[in-house]
């Protein structure tokens, strides 16, 4: 049983990675329904949180059905980090996560996210401050290092454990790599195999199939896997991985009717949480992925992304489901 402090997550948990503009409560709810074991929020600016910025506060929302949830914060100022930890604690997530891995320039340039990888002593100091400021279990998500010359993740993980974190998730790239090249899980394995480490170590990067998930589990010995981009528009990947690990067989891919069901529910939650205008607009980015592989979907997608009226979108989705039953809309054949 993998445990983060007292939180039990099963034998080999699958975590939904925190992704800006993706990992909001509606999407997390769908991933939870389809097999994810632990959700993470979009990352939240500590400066925005302590200034009571609407967008930052909104990211603290949690649906009961999506728990357990970790709220993720990023920042570079100790006082702001500590104040933010107290604010996060007030909404009662299962844990608080610190983002030391975001490679985006506007975050890094402020010394936050992966920018902190250029100053490991400060990384340790900020982590200790957050741990001391909250009763929540604190976890960290980070990368191997700043660049190829600074891959100090083994010693860095030790230092973070020593100041009190309860788990660590490691993306197998440096900041300089961004998302390019292949993720190097060998250093993640080195962290896990370090005899001084006694907290869960989760691997992240490039997991996009059940076969790869099982291979990396067996090859690198991590306690669980964090999945990001592969889940966008395809939350079924969590259950598919679990089924393959348990049986060695593939689940049947989601039917068009099932894709419609999930897209419809996602839209309902999006409208509920964001309001009509934002709910419609921000859902548009998901349709292409939800219906990837559906033959002749281009014209249908045009209606979905151009419509301004919820009922028109729901009617279009219902039409897709109905035509899939009559065979008028089919999945493209794969080799």
- Residue 74 belongs to domain with CATH number: 3.20.20.70
Q: Determine which one of 4, 34, 102, 130 is catalytic.
A: 102
CATH number of the structural domain spanning residue 312 = 1.10.1200
Q: Which pLDDT score is estimated for 7?
A: 97
- Residue range 152-176: mean pLDDT, rounded: 96
- Per-residue pLDDT of 194-215, as tens digits, reads 999 999 999 999 999 999 999 9
Alpha-carbon distances, residue 35 vs 29, 31, 162, 179 (angstroms) = 10, 6, 32, 25
Are 172 and 203 contacting, i.e. CB atoms less than 8 angstroms apart? yes
Confidence of residue 178 (pLDDT cuts 50, 70, 90): confident
The answer on 277 and 236 residing in a single domain is: no
pLDDT exceeds cutoff 80 at 334: no
Write b or e for each residue in 43-64: b if 16 or more Cβ atoms lie within 10 A of its Cβ, otherwise e. bbbbbbbbeeeeebeebbebbe
DSSP for 172-232, please give it. SS-TTTTT-S----HHHHHHHH-TT--S-EEEES---SHHHHHHHHHHH--SEEEE-GGGT
Percent of the chain past pLDDT 70, that is, above it, reads 99
As for how many domains the chain has, the answer is: 2
- Per-residue pLDDT of 4-61, as tens digits, reads 999 999 999 999 999 988 999 999 999 999 999 999 999 999 999 999 888 898 999 9
The answer on 149 and 39 residing in a single domain is: yes
Percent of the chain past pLDDT 90, that is, above it, reads 81
- Residue range 240-252: mean pLDDT, rounded: 96
From the centroid of its chain, how far is CA 270?
Answer: 17
The answer on 198 and 241 residing in a single domain is: yes
Active-site annotation holds for 31: no
Name the DSSP letter for residue 63.
-
The answer on 302 and 228 residing in a single domain is: no
How high does pLDDT run on average in the chain? 93
Q: Which DSSP helix (H) or strand (E) runs through 297?
A: none
Q: Which pLDDT score is estimated for 181?
A: 84
Q: Which pLDDT score is estimated for 288?
A: 87
pLDDT exceeds cutoff 80 at 333: no
Cis bond leading into 68, ω under 30°?
yes
pLDDT exceeds cutoff 80 at 132: yes
- Residue range 291-315: mean pLDDT, rounded: 91
Residue 176 belongs to some domain of the structure: yes
Distance CA 85, CA 77 (A): 12
The answer on 52 and 91 residing in a single domain is: yes
Confidence of residue 278 (pLDDT cuts 50, 70, 90): very high
The answer on 208 and 171 residing in a single domain is: yes
Are 300 and 322 contacting, i.e. CB atoms less than 8 angstroms apart? no
Q: Which pLDDT score is estimated for 145?
A: 92
Place of tokens 């100091």: 125
The answer on 239 and 303 residing in a single domain is: no
The answer on 268 and 243 residing in a single domain is: no
Confidence of residue 335 (pLDDT cuts 50, 70, 90): very low
pLDDT exceeds cutoff 90 at 261: yes
The whole domain housing 57 covers 3-247
């Amino acid at each position: 049983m993998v445990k983060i402090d007292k939180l039990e997550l099963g034998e080999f948990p699958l975590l939904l990675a925190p992704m800006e503009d993706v990992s909001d409560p509606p999407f997390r709810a769908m991933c939870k329904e389809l097999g994810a074991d632990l959700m993470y929020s979009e990352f939240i600016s500590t400066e925005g949180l302590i200034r009571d910025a609407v967008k930052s506060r909104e990211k603290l929302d949690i649906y009961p059905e999506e728990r357990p949830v970790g709220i993720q914060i990023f920042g570079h100022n100790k006082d702001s980090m500590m104040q933010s930890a107290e604010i996060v604690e007030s909404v009662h997530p299962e844990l608080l996560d610190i983002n030391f891995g975001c490679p985006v320039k506007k975050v890094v340039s402020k010394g936050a996210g992966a920018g902190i990888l250029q100053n490991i002593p400060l990384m340790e100091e900020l982590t200790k401050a957050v741990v001391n400021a909250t009763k929540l279990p604190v976890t960290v998500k980070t990368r191997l290092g700043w660049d190829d010359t600074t891959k100090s993740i083994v010693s860095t993980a030790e230092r973070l454990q020593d100041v009190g974190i309860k788990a660590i998730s490691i993306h197998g790239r440096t900041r300089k790599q961004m998302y390019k090249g292949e993720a190097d899980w060998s250093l993640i394995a080195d962290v896990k195999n370090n005899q001084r480490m006694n907290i869960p170590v989760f691997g992240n990067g490039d997991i996009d199939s059940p076969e790869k998930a099982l291979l990396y589990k067996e090859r690198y010995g991590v306690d669980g896997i964090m999945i990001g981009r592969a889940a966008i528009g395809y939350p079924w990947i969590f259950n598919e991985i679990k089924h393959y690990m348990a049986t060695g067989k593939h689940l049947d891919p989601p039917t068009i009717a099932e894709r419609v069901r999930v897209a419809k529910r996602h839209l309902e939650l999006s409208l509920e949480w964001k309001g009509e205008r934002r709910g419609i607009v921000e859902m548009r980015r998901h349709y292409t992925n939800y219906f990837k592989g559906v033959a002749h979907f281009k014209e249908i997608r045009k209606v979905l992304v151009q419509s301004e009226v919820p009922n028109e979108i729901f009617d279009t989705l219902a039409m897709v489901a109905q035509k899939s039953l009559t065979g008028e809309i089919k999945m493209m054949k794969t080799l």
